[in-house]
Amino acid sequence: SVLPGWVETLCQALPKSSIHVESDYSNQMVSDLSMGNLDIAVLYAPRYLPEISYEHLMVEEYVMVSTVARTLSEVDPETYIRPGYTVLLEKAHAELLGELAICRLSMGSETLAEMMLRRTGGTCYMRSDDARRFALERPSFIVEGAPTLHQPVHTAILARRKHEPIIRKGIRALHV
């Protein structure tokens, strides 16, 4: 995950700022922004409100990793964990991998999916950097022939604070 690097960069760029980090709770973060409880949010799922300004930050790539299957044709729906991490990933998965849409298990968290993969084996989607790390830690494969899924990542700020120097500095630090 790029998150630890971002947090480190933000701490260096904004040494007198308080930084709160959460896993993707996009709806809650947008609510917190609109109430003035957050200055900047990094999220997967923008909820468009007139007072919130969004900027595209990056695209995260998700790849299929397996402890058993080397190729897509070898993936067993019985041991496959369908990614329910975001609505966009679910939609892309359904369009690209309809044959795996019906499986025993779906997870709304990549962390939980990885924990299950470690515990029971099988196949799931992970961010590409996490998949490479996982493959180094235990016998597993990046599944050949499996499509890469793409998840846009956005920054969100209160529109009226968009031009404040500290906000701009924080946004620039995230673009590392």
Name the residue type at position 77. P
**Contact criterion met (CB below 8 Å) for 154 and 42:** yes
**Contact criterion met (CB below 8 Å) for 124 and 81:** yes
How do residues 13-56 score in pLDDT, each as one tens digit?
Answer: 878 775 655 555 677 888 888 888 888 888 888 888 889 999 99
How do residues 49-89 score in pLDDT, each as one tens digit?
Answer: 889 999 999 999 999 999 999 999 999 998 999 998 888 99
Strand partners, 110: none
Supply the pTM of this predicted model: 0.80
Domain annotation for the chain: domains and CATH numbers = 3-57+152-174 (3.40.190.10), 60-151 (3.40.190.10)
Query: 82: number of CA atoms within 13 Å, CB side?
Result: 22
Residue positions counted in the chain = 176
**What's the pLDDT score for residue 80?**
92
Quote the mean pLDDT of the chain.
86
Q: For residues 109 and 160, give the distance between their C-alpha atoms in angstroms, rounded to a whole number.
A: 33
**Contact criterion met (CB below 8 Å) for 20 and 11:** no
| Those residues with Cβ within 8 angstroms of residue 40's Cβ, 6 or more apart along the chain or in another chain | 155, 156, 157, 167, 170, 171, 174
Q: For residues 20 and 34, give the distance between their C-alpha atoms in angstroms, rounded to a whole number.
A: 16
